Amino acid sequence: MRIGHEWCGTVTAVGEGGDPTWIGRRAIGDTMLGCGHCRRCLSGRQHVCEKRFEIGIRGGFAGALAEQLAVPATALHALPDNVDIVAGAMVEPGGNALRAVLGANLNPGDRLLVLGPGTIGLLVALFARSVGAEVHLLGQTTRSLAFAATLGFAGVWSADTLPALTWDAVIDASNSAELPGIALDLVEPGKRVVYIGISGVPSTIDTRNLVLKDVTAVGILSASPGLAGAIAEYAAGAVDPRPLVAATVGLQQVGAVLSGWRPAGAGDGPKIHIDPRMP
Ligand SMILES: [Zn+2]
C-alpha cells in the first residue's frame, strides 16, 4: 500500500456535498478514521475503533506519499498561517508526543526522563520542556545523543552515564523490549510511566513493581485527541519541531531515503521531509 501518515496540504477539491469553504485552506488530517457509529467512536475514542482505517497504515487506505490525497473532511484540522509546511507535516507525531506528555501528568519543575531520542522521544522532550519540566533523555547511538544535546535539554545520557536522580515521570519512546521494565524501575513511587514506543517482540513489565510502587502506567496510541493541541503549541511558538528535519527531498528520492540514504548537506535530525512538488 501507499504509506504516509504525517502530512499537511492545501485543499484543492471537495467531494459531492462537501463544504466548499475548505478549498484553498491549508490543513492536516487525523490518521485514524473510525467507523463513526460504534460505541467507541460515539464516545470520542474513534482512534481505537475496531473497524478504523489508518491513513497510509491500516485497511489499505492510501497515504500521503503522492501529489494528491483523498481524506474525509471530518478528519481535517485547519493549519494557521504561521505553521509552515515542515511544521505542518510534524503535527501528527507532535500530537502523539503531546498526549504522552499529558499522560505523564507533569508539573513545572518536575524531572522527566525520556527513553529513546528518536523523533517521538525528541518531540516528547520538546513538549515537556514547554510545560516547564526538567527534561533528560536516554539513548544509545552517539549520533542520536549528539543531536539531542544540540537541542539544549537538561541531560542527555547513555545507559552507562545515567545519573541516579529522582524521576517524576519516565516516558518510553524506544523500540526496546527491556526499557518498559526499566522505566518502571526508575520512576519515583506514586508517579507515572508512559508507554508510546513499541518493541518488535513482546516487552515485559513486572506488575509487582507497578503495585508496590503505586505507579500509574499510561499507553498512548495515536495523535487524534492531541492534534488540536499540537497545532496550537506550534502556532504559539512554544514548540518548534523543525530542527528535527534533516533535509527535504522529492518523491523520486523516497525509496533511497527509506533504505537509509541521506542527501548531501543533510543535518543530523531524525526526519527527512518529503515535498511532492520537488523534482
Ligand atoms: Zn467505530
Domain finish residue from 204, 219, 234: 219
C-beta separation of 261 from 234 below 8 A: no
* Domain count within the chain: 2
CA of 18 to the centre of ligand 1 (A): 21
| Residue 178: half-sphere exposure toward Cβ, Cα within 13 Å | 1
Neighbours of ion ligand 1 (CB under 5 A): 34-35, 38, 41, 49
Domain finish residue from 199, 219, 239: 219
CA of 47 to the centre of ligand 1 (A): 8
CA of 190 to the centre of ligand 1 (A): 34
Same domain, 164 and 51: no
CA of 43 to the centre of ligand 1 (A): 9
Domain containing residue 74: CATH number: 3.90.180.10
Cβ-based neighbours of 108, under 8 Å, separated by 6 or more? 131, 132, 133
pLDDT at 176: 97
Which among 78, 95, 116, 277 has a CA at the least distance from the CA of 203? Answer: 116
Instruction: Tell me 58's DSSP state.
Output: B
pLDDT at 116: 98
Q: Is residue 124 part of a domain?
A: yes
Same domain, 121 and 149: yes
Q: What does the DSSP assignment read for 14-29? A: --TT--GGGTT-EEEE
Q: Is residue 258 part of a domain?
A: yes
Same domain, 33 and 98: no
Same domain, 70 and 141: no
Query: C-alpha cell of 74?
Result: 471530518
CA of 221 to the centre of ligand 1 (A): 15
Domain containing residue 155: CATH number: 3.40.50.720
Full domain range(s) for residue 59: 9-88+226-274
Same domain, 201 and 254: no
CA of 52 to the centre of ligand 1 (A): 6
**C-alpha distance from residue 101 to each of 8, 97, 171, 191, 250 (Å):** 23, 6, 8, 13, 33
Q: Which residue has the cell 467531494?
A: 15
**Per-residue pLDDT tens over the stretch 1-41:** 999 999 999 999 999 999 999 999 999 999 999 999 999 99
CA of 42 to the centre of ligand 1 (A): 7
Q: Is residue 163 part of a domain?
A: yes
Cβ-based neighbours of 236, under 8 Å, separated by 6 or more? none
Give CA–CA dist 88/269, Å, rounded. 17
CA of 74 to the centre of ligand 1 (A): 14
Q: What does the DSSP assignment read for 153-175? A: -SEEE-TTT-----EEEEEE-S-
CA of 54 to the centre of ligand 1 (A): 12
Same domain, 16 and 47: yes
Q: Is residue 265 part of a domain?
A: yes
Same domain, 54 and 39: yes
Same domain, 213 and 121: yes
Q: Which residues of the chain have pLDDT under 50?
A: none
Q: Is residue 105 part of a domain?
A: yes
Tell me the whole-structure pTM to 2 decimals. Answer: 0.97
Which among 98, 75, 35 has a CA at the least distance from the CA of 229? Answer: 98
Same domain, 255 and 190: no
C-beta separation of 137 from 117 below 8 A: yes
Q: Is residue 246 part of a domain?
A: yes
Same domain, 66 and 104: no
Q: Is residue 279 part of a domain?
A: no
CA of 48 to the centre of ligand 1 (A): 8
CA of 72 to the centre of ligand 1 (A): 15
Q: Is residue 29 part of a domain?
A: yes
Same domain, 247 and 231: yes
Give CA–CA dist 164/279, Å, rounded. 50
